[in-house]
Amino acid sequence: MKGPLSKLWNHPSEQVGLLLAVCLALFFMNLGQWDLWNPDEPRYAQVAREMVNGGDWILMHFNGQVYADKPPLFFWLVALSSFLCQGFSSFAVRFPSAFFGTLTVLLTFLIGRRLFSSRTGLISALVLATSAEFVYLSTRANIDATLTFFTTASLFCFFRWHEDHPPHPHPLPTGERAFGLADGERKSGLERSKTEGLWIYGFYAGMGLATLAKGPVGFLLPLLVCLTYLIAQRDWKRLREMKLLPGMFLFLVIVGLWYVPALIKGGKEYFDATLMHHTVERFAKGSSHIRPFYYYLFNFPADFLPWFLFLPGAIAYGFSQGVSKKRKEFLFLLIWFGVIFLFFSISKGKRGLYLLPLFPAVSLMVGKLWEDFISSSMNHFRREWVILPLYGFMGLLLVGGIAISWFVSMKFHSYLPYSLPVTLLAVGGSIAMFALYRFKLHGAVFILLIGMMAGIFFYTTRVVFPLVNPYKSARYISQEITSRIQPGEKLAIYGDFVTAPYNFYTGIVPILEMEKREELVRYLQSRERTFCLLKFRDFDQMQAIEGSNNIQNIQLIARRKVGGDDMALISNR
C-alpha cells in the first residue's frame, strides 16, 4: 500500500497503537453502561462475590452452596478487578473479558506477523476485533474470552517452538527461509537451543492456565490441534521432541496447585461433580443446550459476521498456487479451525460462544486473503472470491440498514430516532464502499469496513444496550424486593429460572429454590411473612387454586419484565 497510510501499515509500533485504540473503544469505554444480564454474567459475578465475602478461595460457592461447575481462575480475576475498582460494578466484573480480549487481539497480530507479515498480522487482528461474537464476548462477563487467550497463547508457544527448531539437520542455505520465519529473523543454533525449551514449556503452561479457566477443554483443544498438525505433517521426530513427560508434569503442577486442595476439601463428591458430571457427562450426554451435530454450520457464520463471507475464499486461497510457499502455515490454521469446530460439533451440549477459541485462526486466514487483495499480489487466484462476497456485503448493508428503521418504526415507533444512526451508517457506508471499490482503493475499502463495524458495535454498547437494559436487567425488580423485605424474612423463587441475578442485585444469600407447587403452597402458608419470585403465568395459575389450599391474602407486590420472562413478586402478607 502506498500513500499516507503506508507508515501505519508497515511500522509495528503504530500498528500496536492502532489495535490498542480500537480495543479501548470497543471493549472498555462502555463496559459499565448496562447491568449484568443472564444467563452467565450475574452468576459468575455472584460466585466471585461469595468467594470474597466468605474468604474461601479454593472451593467456590453460589447461593450458599458449593459451586463445582467451573475452575476458579476467572473468578479470581473478577475478584481482583473488583478490588481494584472498589466494588462489583458491571465494569469491574466485565474487565477481565475486555482485558484478555485485547491481549488475544495483540497475540493474533504477533502470530500473523510471524506466519506471514506485519501487515497481515495487523489486518488479521482488526478482523478479529470487529467480528460479531468476539467483540460481544469481550464486553461480557463470560469465561470464554479468557479461555481463548490462554489457548491461543499455548498454540503460539507451540508455533514458536516449532519454528525455532527447524527440521533440517544443517543450517539452511543463504536466502532459503525456515517455516514461519520472516526475513532476517532466523536464529543461530545456539540461540535456538536457549529458547526452544522455554517455548515448548510455554505451550504446556498455557494449557494449564486455560484448564484453570474452564476445565479440561483448556488442554484438550491446544493438544489436539498440535498433535493433529504434527501427524498431518508426518513429523514423527518433532512429535518425540515435544518434551511430553516434563511438559505434562508442568501442566499438572499448575492445575494441581488448585485442584488438589479443592479435592482435599471437597472430597469424592466434589471430584464427581467437577470432572465427571460437568466435563465427561456434559460432553458425552449433554445436560443443557443439547443441539444437533450440524448446529454450528448455521450458528458460526452468524457469529463470525461480517468476515465469514470471506472465509470460503480465504480457505481456497490458502491452497492455491499463489501461496504455495505458505502452505504449512495455512495448514496449521486450517487444522486449528477444523479440530475445534469438529470437537464441539461432536459434543452434545452446544453454545455459540464455545467456538471462540477458533476465531484467531479464521481471522488470520481472512487477514491473509485481504492483505494480498489490498496489495494486488493474488497470482493464479480468482479475485471473485473476494469481490463477490464484498458486493454481497454491500447489498446486505443497504437492505439491512433500511429494514432496521422500517422494523423499529412498525414495532417500536418511539425508538425510531435511535435506529436512524445505524441506518445512515449502513446505507451511507455501503454506497461509499462501492465508490471506493470502483476506484480500486482496496485498502480504503478495508479501512471503511473496519470503521463501519467498529462504529456499529460502539453505538450498540453505548446506546442500544442501555436502552434495552430496563427490559433485560433483574436490578429493577430486585430493588422492589430490597425496599420491602426486612432482615430475617425469606425470599424464594418458584419455576424454571435461576437465582443468580436476584442473589447479585439483592445481596440475599441463600434464596430458596422450589420446583413443586406443593412446596410453594406450604411456603406461602407460613405464619411469617414470606416473599416469592415467580413467572406471572404461574401466579395466575396459583390464584385459581388459592381457595382450595387455604392460602389467604396473597399480594402481588411488583411485576416486571426480566429478559424474556414476565416476573412477579408476591407475598403472603
Whether 320 and 366 map to the same domain: the answer is yes
Q: How far apart are CA 140 and CA 269, in angstroms?
A: 31
In a domain, 173, yes or no: no
Instruction: With a cut of 90, say whether residue 496 has pLDDT above it.
Output: no
Instruction: With a cut of 50, say whether residue 175 has pLDDT above it.
Output: no
- Chain centroid, CA 428 distance in Å: 30
Whether 200 and 100 map to the same domain: the answer is yes
Cβ 378 vs Cβ 325: under 8 Å: no
Please report which confidence band the pLDDT of residue 552 belongs to, taking 50, 70 and 90 as the band edges: low
In a domain, 515, yes or no: yes
Bond preceding residue 466 cis, omega within 30 of 0? no
Q: Given 472, 493, 527, which residue is the final one in a domain? A: 472
Instruction: With a cut of 60, say whether residue 312 has pLDDT above it.
Output: yes
Task: Please compute the mean of the pLDDT values over residues 415-443 and round it to a whole number.
Answer: 91
What pLDDT does 179 receive? Answer: 43
Instruction: With a cut of 80, say whether residue 325 has pLDDT above it.
Output: no
Q: Which three cell numbers stand for residue 483?
A: 425496599
- Share the mean pLDDT of the chain: 86
In a domain, 25, yes or no: yes
In a domain, 90, yes or no: yes
Task: Please compute the mean of the pLDDT values over residues 527-531 and round it to a whole number.
Answer: 90
Task: Please compute the mean of the pLDDT values over residues 49-66 and round it to a whole number.
Answer: 93
DSSP letter (8 states) at residue 463: I
Q: Which of 2-6, 275-279, 456-460 has the lowest mean pLDDT?
A: 2-6
Instruction: With a cut of 90, say whether residue 149 has pLDDT above it.
Output: yes
Task: Please compute the mean of the pLDDT values over residues 183-199 and round it to a whole number.
Answer: 56
Q: Which three cell numbers stand for residue 541?
A: 395459575
What pLDDT does 54 receive? Answer: 92
Residue 417 CB contacts under 8 Å (≥ 6 apart), including other chains: none
Q: How far apart are CA 249 and CA 162, in angstroms?
A: 20
Whether 357 and 479 map to the same domain: the answer is no
Whether 300 and 160 map to the same domain: the answer is yes
Whether 125 and 201 map to the same domain: the answer is yes
Give residue-wise pLDDT tens across range 404-413.
988 888 888 8
In a domain, 175, yes or no: no
Whether 495 and 531 map to the same domain: the answer is yes
What pLDDT does 416 receive? Answer: 87
Whether 421 and 458 map to the same domain: the answer is yes
Task: Please compute the mean of the pLDDT values over residues 285-311 and round it to a whole number.
Answer: 85
Q: Could you give the percent of the chain with pLDDT greater than 90?
A: 60
Whether 263 and 156 map to the same domain: the answer is yes
Please report which confidence band the pLDDT of residue 515 belongs to, taking 50, 70 and 90 as the band edges: confident
What pLDDT does 282 receive? Answer: 54
Instruction: With a cut of 70, say whether residue 287 has pLDDT above it.
Output: no
Instruction: With a cut of 70, say whether residue 457 has pLDDT above it.
Output: yes
Q: Given 455, 472, 489, which residue is the final one in a domain? A: 472
Whether 100 and 238 map to the same domain: the answer is yes
What pLDDT does 517 receive? Answer: 86
Q: Which domain holds residue 544?
A: 475-571
What pLDDT does 196 receive? Answer: 60
State the CB neighbour count (10 A cutoff) for residue 484.
14
In a domain, 176, yes or no: no
Query: Which residue is associated with the grid cell 439491512?
Result: 400
Task: Please compute the mean of the pLDDT values over residues 312-329 and round it to a whole number.
Answer: 80
What pLDDT does 275 receive? Answer: 60
Greater confidence (372 vs 76) lies with: 76
Whether 191 and 330 map to the same domain: the answer is yes
Task: Please compute the mean of the pLDDT values over residues 229-246 and round it to a whole number.
Answer: 87
Q: Could you give the percent of the chain with pLDDT greater than 70?
A: 86
What pLDDT does 182 receive? Answer: 45
In a domain, 174, yes or no: no
Whether 319 and 277 map to the same domain: the answer is yes
Instruction: With a cut of 60, say whether residue 190 has pLDDT above it.
Output: no
What pLDDT does 238 receive? Answer: 81
What pLDDT does 12 receive? Answer: 81
Instruction: With a cut of 60, say whether residue 185 has pLDDT above it.
Output: no
Beta strands 530-535 and 490-494 are parallel
Instruction: Check which CATH number belongs to the domain holding 495 and give it.
Output: 3.40.190
Residue ranges in 233-326 assigned as alpha helix (H): 236-240, 244-271, 282-284, 295-303, 311-318
Please report which confidence band the pLDDT of residue 181 belongs to, taking 50, 70 and 90 as the band edges: very low
Task: Count each helix (H run) and each strand (E run) in the chain, helices first.
Answer: 25, 7
What pLDDT does 192 receive? Answer: 53
- Look up residue 213 and give its amino acid: A
What pLDDT does 289 receive? Answer: 64
What pLDDT does 364 receive? Answer: 97
Whether 219 and 349 map to the same domain: the answer is yes
Q: Given 472, 493, 528, which residue is the final one in a domain? A: 472
In a domain, 171, yes or no: no
Our count of domains for the chain comes to 3
Q: Which of 69-73, 381-385, 509-513 has the lowest mean pLDDT?
A: 381-385
